[in-house]
A = this chain, B = another copy of it.
Amino acid sequence: MCELLGMSANVPTDICFSFTGLMQRGGRTGPHADGWGITFYEGKGFRTFKDPKPSCHSKIAELVQQYPIKSCAVISHIRQANRGGVCLENTHPFTRELWGRYWTFAHNGQLTGYENLEAGRFQSVGDTDSEIAFCWLMNQIDSKFPQPPEDWSQIFEVVAECCDELRKLGVYNMLLSDGEFVLTYCTNNLHWITRRAPFGKASLIDEDVTIDFQQETTPNDVVTVIATQPLTNDERWHKMATGEFAVFHYGELINKRVPDIPQDLPSSAS
């Protein structure tokens, strides 16, 4: 499978601490050695660093870890390939333009019967189930909203319904962003945490690194990190339920759809 990492923040924030934890799982503390990628939004623009090599040995991952790029929306992924060969075109995240915005997507899981998903004008370049699902999802949004609606909750509803459809095809954990919103969907493994004042300390699980967020932040900062598995061992992460959909906007949870049976229990991570 793979691991996802996302961030939504109300001030441009670097993700070096969390990324340091994630990249260890790309071949060292985890088996996700088939490439990695990270997309940083800055305003309406974005930049993606990616490599089909393991993140734990990647010069480019080293740069991303050491060079603080500040962003309000980040999507990252480390890959353990199942569908599609190990090559750059199959390396997440994937990006397409719609409505003059760049949309970026990463997926953790495995789908079957995805080959016939109708993607319209959004054609897949690689041959992963993930990119095909992304193209189908973008086509669904585009078909229903040739122009962006004033009320974005309509879009969230459509995306959540599309995610339900994709979950019928297998395991579908997702991060999706247009640079402003970070949309998340959980089939089995997705956790998030919102950090705000009073800030404390946190220690990575995968690397001997502790950070004191109070030294790194101002009292108004709100930063949400979303990850397949918790990245720290001394904070409380929210575990998302099967079928749960959540939208973060500049750090705040603004839209949430839980399945009928509540399963949203915080994971014990202390």
Contacts and interface: CB of A to CB of B under 8 A. Distances in A.
Interface of A: 42-52, 59-60, 63, 67, 87-91, 96-102, 121-126
Chain multiplicity (copies): 2
B123 A97 contact: yes
A89 B45 contact: yes
Contacts of A124: 100
A88 B46 contact: yes
B67 A59 contact: yes
B126 A44 contact: yes
A49 B46 CA distance: 10
A120 to B, nearest CB: 10
Contact of A45 (B67, B90, B97, B100): B90
A125 B101 CA distance: 6
A202 to B, nearest CB: 26
Q: Which 7 residue pairs of A and B lie closest in terms of their CB atoms, listed nearest first?
A: A45-B88, A45-B89, A100-B123, A44-B89, A42-B88, A59-B67, A63-B63
A60 B60 CA distance: 9
B126 A89 contact: no
A106 to B, nearest CB: 15
Contacts of A122: 97
A98 to B, nearest CB: 8
A87 B45 CA distance: 8
Contacts of A45: 52, 87-91, 125-126
